[in-house]
Structure formats: structure tokens, C-alpha cells
Amino acid sequence: MPISMSPRENYLACLNHKPHEYTPGMTDTAMVGAFVPFERGEGGAGIDAFGVRWVAPESAAGGALPTPNEFLLTDVTQWKSVVQFTDPSVFDWENLAAAELANVNRDMMAVEVGSLNFIYERLATLMGFEGALLAMALEPEATYELLEALLNWKIEVFKYYVKYYKPDIYTYFDDVATERMLFMSPPTYQSLIKPLHTRMADVCKEYGVIPIQHTCGRADIIVQDMIDEGNAGWSAVQATNDIEDIIIKHGHEFVLCGGYNSNGAPSLESATEDEVRAEVRRCMDTYGKYRKGYVFFGMVMYAVGSVADPFMSPLNLAIVDEFMKCRAEQTA
């Protein structure tokens, strides 16, 4: 059939729950702005805007993480005297945005800014996962106050994104789940996190930006909460969730971005080209067939430094190539 929509138009139509001509994918959006030094220090390791020291150990395949057992905040009731908030205006937003957007064709691609370490993740960087969860359980009022203060800061940062990047989409990274279940009970999520996610989504819409919640792990138990919050979709949805069932039930109002088996063999450096191509086709055949509520995303995960450019590795190029072949078949 003839194609009338550009990848950008098609992608945004899907996120706005409108008719679109083919399955959108990671090739249709430019993810920028996520790795500002505010969040992980210069170069991904170092002191961030909150005073958290990040390291990149071999045990984490070179990925950045807060220094183990080094917590800035041990008593959440004392957060006002411990947690620091750097003024976002000190960062050179104009030059960063110009550099990241220099090669982005906005007529063909949507622009998506990402906010790493959103409110729950940031709480965990300050207190450690155990400390954060204990704070939520034992001191919910003080914890909510801190989460709200973190959100206020995130909103100020968001305004700089809007001014300099003029994004179509805002994805906030808040991993509230493990591979098996939420870190916290659904009622705890609903009382401490959901109201603040809702406020962030409302602010996005006020500025004409589409809000997306990024959450790894099994979080299908809070799909309705994510919808209630006002998110257009959920990104990096992993295969541990019942993706097909969610698309069938909610594909008219909610978009799932992901589907690729990121915890299995197709995501490892040891994967073969046949394995990654087969996984792409499984995603497109299983989820893309509904022509609603689904955006393909998948990649092989490399240890930091193991290849010069992971996105240009033969396996990740094969993923993109197979995705484009599947998409061409949809419109043939």
C-alpha cells in the first residue's frame, strides 16, 4: 500500500493513539539529553549534581553505578540538611543541545529527551536500594517530601530541555521493578510515586510534550496506574511482562516500546546474527501485527569499551536491518 506518513509522523501518531501506517521503532526517534553530567558526573563516573560518587567497575561491565556502600543519606527524615540541589542554569544547555541535535533531521525523526535517575531511582542513589525501600515503608511522609522536592528539581531541568531541545517526547527513567516484580507493593507505589509521576505527565502536556515512563523489569501489575498517570506509553518493556495481553487490552490508549528479549541470549555479545534476527521477527510477528500500541526497540548489550560503537556493531546493525525488512513487509 502507498505510504504517506514520514517515520516521525508515524511514530508520533502511534504515541498519540491515532491511526498509523506501520510499526514504529527505535530508528524513528533521536534520544538526546539523557546523559548530562547532572546525573552521573562527567564521563559517566564522578560526582553528580547531588554529590553522589559514581564508579564504573569491571563487575558491572564498565557501566556506571553509585559507589557501593557509600550513602549520602541514611535517615530520610534529615534529607533537608543533607540533599543538595544544583541550580540547573549552571549547565551549558545551549551548546549541548546544539551538538546533540546537529545531525538530527527533525522532519524525519522525533526528538526524545530522557531524564535518568527519576524520583525513585534518585532516592536509591542517595540511600541505596535497601535504605530507600525502608524509608518508604517506615517514614512515608518524609520520603514523600523528599520525592516531591526531587520532582520539583526535575521539572526545572525539564524546562531547560523544552527551551533548548524543543522535544516531542520526554522519557523519565524510574526502574521501580525487578525482573520478577515491583520493588515495593502496589499500594506503596500508588501512594508515594503515582501522584508525582502524574504531576510530571501533566507538566509535559502543559508544554506540548508527550510523557513516557521508562521502567525495566516486570511492572505489568501497574499498567493501569501508568495509564492513569497520563503517560502515553511505557518504554523498555521487557519480555518478562505479558506484552501481547497488554496490547490487546490497552493498545488503543497506551503504547509499549520494547519487547526484545533483553535478558536472554539475543541480547548478549555472544549472540549470533541468526538469533538476533529471529528475535526481531518474533517481536514484529507477535506484537507488531496488531498495528496499535507497539513500538519496536531492541539491541545487544555490550560491556563498556568492548566495541568502539555498540550501535554500529554488526549485531545491532542486523537488528535494525531485520526490523526494517519486517516493516517493509507490513506495507508491501
pLDDT (tens digit, 9 = 90+) per residue, 101-145? 999 999 999 999 999 999 999 999 999 999 999 999 999 999 999
Q: Among 5-9, 63-67, 79-83, 121-125, which stretch is predicted with the lowest mean pLDDT? A: 63-67
Average confidence score pLDDT of the chain: 95
Burial 9-38 (b: 16+ CB within 10 A, else e): bbbbebbebeebbbbbbbbbbbbbbbbbbb
Q: To 5 degrees, how large is the angle CA 291–CA 248–CA 322?
A: 40
3-state secondary structure at position 279: helix
Phi and psi, residue 248, nearest 5°: -60, -45
- What does the alpha-carbon distance between residue 252 and residue 13 come to, in Å, rounded to a whole number? 12
Instruction: Give pLDDT, residue 161.
Output: 96
- What does the alpha-carbon distance between residue 303 and residue 272 come to, in Å, rounded to a whole number? 17
Instruction: Give pLDDT, residue 36.
Output: 66
CA 31, 37, 40, 42 dihedral sign is: positive
Q: Are 127 and 76 in contact (CB under 8 A)?
A: yes
Q: Encode pLDDT of 213-226 as tens digits.
A: 999 999 999 999 99
Amino acid at the residue 88 = P
* 190 CB-near residues (< 8 Å, 6+ apart): 222, 225
Phi and psi, residue 208, nearest 5°: 75, 30
Q: Are 276 and 319 in contact (CB under 8 A)?
A: yes
Say yes or no to pLDDT of 303 above 90: no
* 292 CB-near residues (< 8 Å, 6+ apart): 14, 17, 247, 251, 252
| DSSP annotation string for 68-128 | TT--S-S-GGGHHHH-----GGGS-HHHHHHHHHTT--TTTSEEEEEESS-HHHHHHHHHH
Please give the grid coordinates belonging to residue 53: 560518587
Say yes or no to pLDDT of 2 above 80: no
- What does the alpha-carbon distance between residue 192 and residue 298 come to, in Å, rounded to a whole number? 31
Q: Are 136 and 184 in contact (CB under 8 A)?
A: yes
Say yes or no to pLDDT of 197 above 90: yes
Residues 168-186 have a mean pLDDT of: 97
Q: Are 239 and 261 in contact (CB under 8 A)?
A: yes
In order of their start, the domains of the chain are 7-330 (3.20.20.210)
Q: Which of 32, 26, 20 is nearest to 104 (CA)?
A: 32
Residues 146-167 have a mean pLDDT of: 97
Q: At what angle do helices 140-165 and 194-206 cross, to 10 degrees?
A: 20
Q: Encode pLDDT of 252-300 as tens digits.
A: 999 999 999 999 999 999 999 999 999 999 999 999 999 999 999 999 9
Q: Encode pLDDT of 23-73 as tens digits.
A: 999 999 999 987 666 787 766 678 898 999 999 888 877 788 899 999 999
Instruction: Give pLDDT, residue 228.
Output: 98
* 160 CB-near residues (< 8 Å, 6+ apart): 88, 89, 91, 93
CA atoms within 13 A on the CB side of 149: 17
* 195 CB-near residues (< 8 Å, 6+ apart): none
Instruction: Give pLDDT, residue 42.
Output: 67
- What does the alpha-carbon distance between residue 127 and residue 133 come to, in Å, rounded to a whole number? 9
